[in-house]
Amino acid sequence: MICTSCGLENSDDQRFCNRCGRKLQSSFTIPDMDGEEEGPAVTRLRLEMLGLSRLAIGKFLEAWAYALALLAVTLWCGRNELYWPLYVIVPVLGLMLWRRKF
């Protein structure tokens, strides 16, 4: 295995790099699907091989939506010099995220 940090080639049975000590990443490649038709089944297979599912992508997008909403409210409050809404929104958003267990 080749270290992604320093580029040193290590043996396949090692978990950490001999030079920099970082954890080695196993090389994961998607098998070549020549001759196969591209379609929803093939795309779903590729996403499953990468560990991504529709639910995981949905949670990721939902988390970004919450973060962007909080940023927008924070910028609006800062521009208008009105900070009391943040005392309500931040705990409510925190409870929502805690219940979703991101």
pLDDT, tens digit (0-9, with 9 covering 90-100), for 46-82: 666 666 566 667 777 888 888 898 999 999 999 999 9
Measured from the Cβ of residue 14, the count of other Cβ atoms closer than 10 Å reads 11
Specify whether the CB–CB gap between 3 and 24 falls below 8 A. Answer: yes
Q: CA 91, CA 4: separation in Å to the nearest integer?
A: 40
User: What is the rounded (10 degree) CA torsion for 48, 53, 56, 59?
Assistant: 160
Q: Is 71 helix (H, G, I), strand (E, B) or coil?
A: helix
Per the DSSP assignment, residues forming a β-bridge with 16 are: 23
Between 100 and 51, where is the model more confident?
Answer: 100
Q: CA 69, CA 93: separation in Å to the nearest integer?
A: 10
- pLDDT value for 63: 81
pTM: predicted TM-score of the whole model, two decimal places:
0.43
